[in-house]
C-alpha cells in the first residue's frame, strides 16, 4: 500500500469518526460538507489503488 493511499484512508476514517461523534451538533451545511468530503476521499482512495496484477 502506497503512503499517499494510506494517508487518504486514515483521513477518511478520521472524518468519518468525527462525523459520527458530532452529527447531532453540526448544522445541516456542515453535515453535507462532511458527507461530500467523505465522498471525495473515498473516491480518491479507490483511484489511488492502481491496477490489479
Annotated domain spans of the chain: 3-47
Q: For the chain, what is the total number of helices (H) and then of strands (E)?
A: 2, 0
| pLDDT tens by residue, 1-53 | 689 999 999 999 999 999 999 988 999 999 999 999 999 999 999 999 877 77
Cell 491496477: give the residue: 51
What's the CA gap between 23 and 25, in Å, rounded?
Answer: 6
DSSP state of 50: -
Query: What's residue 10's pLDDT?
Result: 97
Query: What's residue 1's pLDDT?
Result: 61
Amino acid at each position: 500500500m502506497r503512503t499517499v493511499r494510506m494517508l487518504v484512508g486514515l483521513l477518511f476514517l478520521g472524518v468519518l469518526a468525527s462525523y459520527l461523534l458530532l452529527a447531532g451538533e453540526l448544522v445541516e451545511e456542515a453535515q453535507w460538507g462532511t458527507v461530500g468530503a467523505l465522498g471525495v476521499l473515498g473516491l480518491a482512495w479507490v483511484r489511488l489503488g492502481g491496477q490489479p496484477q
